Each structure stands twice: as C-alpha cells, then as structure tokens.
Amino acid sequence: MRVKPGAEVCEAPDKDGKMRAVAENDRVLIIDRKLFKDDNLRIYIGTVESSDSNVVRIRGYLFHVSPYDVAGTERRGEERTRITSLASGDLIFILPAHINPAEMVLKRSPKSMQLSDGVNNVDLTDFLSRA
C-alpha cells in the first residue's frame, strides 16, 4: 500500500486504559469471507463510529466484485452503516487516517485490483479471483 509519508493511525488507549484493536475514527477496509465459490467479493471501506470489545459500527461504502468481470472502474454504492464482529472471520485492515473512504474508486484489470482516490492506492491484487 502506498500512502503519504508521515501518515498516522489512531493508537491511543481508551478511557479504561485498554488498547482496542479498532478505535473510533479509524479508517478500515473489510474484505468479506466468501462462503461459496461463485460469490461476489465484497469490499467495505469506512470510518469506525464506535466499537466495543468485539463489535464495531462502521459508516462507509460497499463494492461488489464479480468473478466474471475482469476489468473496469467501479464507484462505491451509497453510504451505509455496518455492524460487524471482529471475530467473524472477515479480513479487517486499518488504513491511514488521512484516507477519505468517500473518494475511493475500485480499479480492476485482468491482473490487478486497487482502491484509489488518485493519490493513495490500496493494492488488493492478492484477493483477485483467478481462473
């Protein structure tokens, strides 16, 4: 992932002095676990609104990636709120705080896949379906 130098991720302990895995205002990228071979890849990018020890509420945008489409640029869907468990089995990545989820666009080719806002790129090629 290429990001601006000096980018910071929120890592402050909460009021109880405990360090949470995900804190408020963190930018997160969630890649949903596929349940069946032909399921669409679902990518969710957003900002954490609140978090408990195991449950996180995130406001952001969802992208659906069909295994049968090989190239193109996709804009996000409408903004939505998602509640997810940290123990659900989905991949959750913490992104730098300066990334704006509303500006991200999914770009695909047969050999690569990236989320980009024109300045910051998140390489998702490893999650691209291969025939």
Q: What is the DSSP string of 47-111?
A: EEEEE-SSEEEEEEEEEEE-TT--SEEE-----EEEEEETTSS-EEEEEPTT--GGG-EEEEETT
pLDDT attached to residue 2: 43
25-50 pLDDT, tens digit per residue, is: 899 999 988 888 778 888 899 999 99
Instruction: Look at residues 70, 69, 67 and name the one whose alpha carbon lies nearest to residue 38.
Output: 67
pLDDT attached to residue 6: 43
What average pLDDT does range 55-70 have in this prediction? 86
Q: Cα(95)–Cα(120) distance, rounded to whole angstroms?
A: 11
3-state secondary structure of 40: coil
> Does position 15 have pLDDT exceeding 80, yes or no?
no
pLDDT band at 17 (very low <50, low <70, confident <90, very high): low
pLDDT band at 19 (very low <50, low <70, confident <90, very high): low
Asked if 41 contacts 69 with a C-beta cutoff of 8 angstroms, the reply is: no
Instruction: Look at residues 48, 43, 51, 42 and name the one whose alpha carbon lies nearest to residue 19.
Output: 51
pLDDT attached to residue 65: 82
